[in-house]
Amino acid sequence: MQDKLTLMTPGPTPVPESVLKAMGNHPIGHRSYEFEVLMKEISEQLRWLHQTNNDVLTITGSGTAAMEAGIVNTLSYKDRVLCGDNGKFGERWVEVARAYGLDVEVIKSPWGQELDPEAFRIVLEADIEKSIKAVILTHSETSTSVINDLKSINHHINMHGVAVSIVDCVTSIGVINIPMDEWGIDVICSGSQKGYMMPPGLAFIAMSQRAWKAQENSTLPKFYFDLSFYRQTSIKNSNPFTPSINLYFALKETLKIMRKEGLESIFMRHLQHSRAIQSAVQAMGLSLYAADGCRSPAVTAIQAIDFEAQSLLSLMKNNFDIVLAGGQDHLKGKIFRIGHLGFICNRDILMVVAAMEATLHNIRPNKMLQGKGLTAAINELSLKSR
């Protein structure tokens, strides 16, 4: 049915109507007083969201723009870096780092497993000459629905003392607690189409004082992504280039909504929704792809063992107007993924579970007792009693 499509993909994610409407305003000049007021408010709210007093800068681009900016602003040709890789986005970090001629050492974990903080500790402690200039990793690995132990890994990076941490928090910011200053994270990258409840098009990068020090010494080529330009202009509540002004309207609105809900509530909602989906899926007799103990609150990957993942996705869309995501690379056809981050409420959770039960009943009838998943999901949600 037209206009009833529900996105339950791990990006893009659904957008509140007030955010969509905000985008429909006429653009304003980006050198105007009105834009300065807008920028000032946005910058303050972005710092709140990142739990930091550092600069949080906005680039027009998708999440990968922030990732690339993170690398080119802190590093120089042939710098030695450690990259965590346990999925598609970990691989992307390695690709970006290699594209710029960095000396990349990869710390791998199998897909579906978390990165081992001990592996980072060992390499970092062995680096007595302090040749490692950055440790680069993905917090919530969207391709496998694994959440990595950022707090522990970042602690080992801080102990090293020289390497900066550069973290892809694209599906974890606004989803799970990341106290940037308290944990001492140097660079946090994110994009608008995930936890921000916005359309794609804006990338965010938060930079610590240590990251700015690295920025001064970094010699990798950059122009549009040269964050020193963004920093200089952000002091004056301005932007070096023409920003996507209408997305800034949306950003202001969505940050207002997030602030009203509060960080604690946002994190709790995502945790409960992820638990509801995980329990429901298991009650339906399906297996989760991510290992126990490291499941992301943003997205759930589910194994498609005795049915075609693609037919489930098609039936969910054709019968229920719900869009889920498939697997990437070698997981294509082997898993499917439910995104439950951003603008998602209890109703969406029950709806997707009920629709999945109906669909699975359709494609593997003898394996399914309808209502089991729904009951499991309901038990995980905290429902008001009055």
Could you list the residues known to form a binding site for substrate, using ranges: 337
Should residue 64 be labelled a site residue for ligand PLP when binding is judged by CB under 6 A?
yes
Residue 9 Cβ, how far from ligand PLP at the closest point, in Å? Answer: 10
89 forms part of the interface with ligand PLP (CB under 6 A): yes
Q: Which residue of the chain is nearest ligand PLP when measured via CB?
A: 63
Residue 168 interacts with ligand PLP (CB under 6 A)?
Answer: yes
Calpha distance 146→113 (Å, rounded) = 7
Residue 204 backbone phi and psi in degrees, to 5: -125, 140
Q: Does 111 contact ligand PLP by CB under 6 A?
A: no
Please tell me the distance from the alpha carbon of residue 189 to that of residue 168, in angstroms, as a whole number: 5
Does residue 170 belong to the site contacting ligand PLP (CB under 6 A)?
Answer: yes
Q: Which of 14, 63, 70, 112 binds ligand PLP (CB under 6 A)?
A: 63
Phi then psi for residue 278, to 5 deg, are -60, -45
Q: Which is nearer to ligand PLP, 68 or 357 (CB)?
A: 68
In the complex with ligand PLP, the residue whose CB is nearer, 142 or 165, is: 142
- 260 with 58: CB under 8 angstroms? no
Question: Cβ atoms within 10 A of the Cβ of 324, count?
Answer: 24
User: What binding mask, one character per residue, do residues 241-280 give for ligand PLP by CB under 6 A, x or -?
Assistant: ----------------------------------------
| Token reading at 17 | 């109507």
Asked if 254 and 245 count as a contact pair (C-beta separation under 8 A), the reply is: no
Other beta carbons less than 10 A from residue 219's beta carbon: 10
Residues in the chain: 386
Residue range at the interface with ligand PLP (CB under 6 A); choices 95-103, 137-145, 177-185, 331-339: 137-145
Query: Which of residues 7, 8, 11, 100 is near ligand PLP by CB under 6 A?
Result: 11
The interface region with ligand PLP, picked from 32-40, 57-65, 153-161, 324-332 by CB under 6 A, is: 57-65
The single residue among 52, 142, 148, 278 that binds ligand PLP, judged by CB under 6 A, is 142
Over the window 328 to 347, marking each residue x when it contacts ligand PLP by CB under 6 A and - when it does not, the resulting string is: --------------------
Beta carbons within 10 angstroms of residue 317's beta carbon? 14
**34 vs 329, which CB is nearer to ligand PLP?**
329
Does residue 191 belong to the site contacting ligand PLP (CB under 6 A)? Answer: yes
Nearer to ligand PLP, 298 or 313 (CB): 298
d(CA 207, CA 303): 37
Task: Return the number of the residue (11 or 327) whose C-beta is nearest ligand PLP.
Answer: 11
Residue 108, number of CB atoms within 10 A of its CB = 16
CA quadruple 156, 159, 160, 166: dihedral positive or negative?
A: positive
**Residue from 271, 53, 90 nearest 167 by CA:** 90
Burial of 206 by CB count in 10 Å (0-12 exposed, 13-18 middle, 19+ buried)?
Answer: buried
Binding site for ligand PLP (CB under 6 A): 10-11, 62-64, 89, 138, 140, 142, 168, 170-171, 191, 194
